[in-house]
Amino acid sequence: MDLLNTLVEKGLRRETPTREEALAVLATSDDDLLDVVAAAGKVRRQWFGRRVKLNYLVNLKSGLCPEDCSYCSQRLGSKADILKYTWLKPDEASQAAAAGIAGGAKRVCLVASGRGPTDRDVERVGRTIEAIKEQNEGVEVCACLGLLSDGQAERLKTAGADAYNHNLNTSEGTYGEITTTHTYADRVDTVQKAHAAGLSACSGLIAGMGETDEDLVDVVFALRELDSDSVPVNFLIPFEGTPLAKEWNLSPQRCLRILAMVRFVCPDVEVRIAGGREVHLRSMQPLALNIANSIFLGDYLTSEGQAGQADLEMIADAGFEVEGAGTTTLPAHRADALAAAGAGGGCGSHASAGGCGSGAAAGCGSHEDATAGGGCGPCGGHAAPAEATAGAVPAAAATGSEARTDLVAVRRRGAGTDLAPNA
């Protein structure tokens, strides 16, 4: 296909495709799907080889969020029967993180529900970051705490945070239909604060909330323009007890086309398959590794994920390798530019020529996002229960109007419980 040849050439040059080209990827037929994956795979391998970065999520504070994000099980008014607990102590959070690091994760994502942190909360998270880094040399830490006030990003950076996550989630034009308690501009402001403090920006989207192709292209182009260093792609899990409980709009083929479009628009950034991969990609998860170079290991914030060992076996069986702790995730031109800008140790560069944006950075959502398929950036969203993964989920799960309570197991292990985590 001339379209795919053009997109590969542009991706190898870090050149932005046109909106029409991005829309055309989403409109390709199932007959062309393997060609689309192969083309996106050429771009992925150019910048990331066959490495897969593993990320591990620690839910520092669960439930009882005052925000009304429609996709989130921790939202105001949610009837989802999730774990609810207040802040983990630094040693508890460090112990939880250690499980993921032992499983191969090189980044730990610290998430807390709520509109945004108080200064006392930032101090608490700072102590947690220090505790994790004292025990695990070289590990990356990303914080996802919601909307930041002036000076808070700098304090997180001083404490050792490498990145901050805040998802755009959907297009600016439709954002008000999903959330009313804060705005799209609030999210942009938070990640701008993180960028200004020298933190790497992690910002992504949620697919499957009833958006149009144009909405998806809008949000991905915004992420490129705003220069998110890593882009988590969440696939909505319609969690029972939330307003979007009956929104089953995705198929494995649709998910692969969305991932490919993201890769073509943001060729040299970390594209992460986040919440919902087990439910919506199902047996086609290994195929998605040809497009994305990053996934979450183990469970998510309020739901269970695929068994950690199954993730490792999937990566190996598909011919990929887990990215080592001593390997820089992003291509040298992005990592070097960030270091030169004085940010140090982050994941990318808002200054890179032809990179994934111009440097303004966009917010990716607060911690509440990460719980209902929304994903708080690196933190991901809801996934399927382990027994419903690796292709075991029936194809009918991809569509329909009924709530599918059989596909989502509420997390009852790991952080906030006395049971061992899944990692």
Residues labelled catalytic: 65, 69, 72, 109, 142, 202, 272
Strand partners, 296: 55
Is the CB of residue 406 less than 8 Å from the CB of residue 394?
Answer: no
Strand partners, 361: none
- Rounded-to-integer distance, Cα 417 and Cα 408, Å: 19
Sorted by sequence, the CB contacts under 8 Å of residue 69 that are 6+ apart come out as 75, 169, 178, 179, 181, 365, 366, 368, 369, 372, 374
- Rounded-to-integer distance, Cα 263 and Cα 36, Å: 11
Q: Which of 152, 162, 103 is nearest to 345 (CA)?
A: 162
| Alpha-carbon distance values, 190 to 47, 213, 348, 356 (Å) | 28, 26, 18, 18
CA end-to-end span of the chain, whole Å? 41
Rounding to the nearest 10 degrees, give the CA dihedral for residues 404, 217, 299, 268.
Answer: 160
- Rounded-to-integer distance, Cα 189 and Cα 43, Å: 31
Phi/psi zone of residue 146: left (φ > 0), alpha (ψ -120 to 50 degrees), beta? left
Strand partners, 165: 202
Sorted by sequence, the CB contacts under 8 Å of residue 401 that are 6+ apart come out as 246, 248
| Element of type H or E holding 336 | helix 332-340
- Rounded-to-integer distance, Cα 345 and Cα 338, Å: 8
Strand partners, 321: 51
- Rounded-to-integer distance, Cα 205 and Cα 167, Å: 6
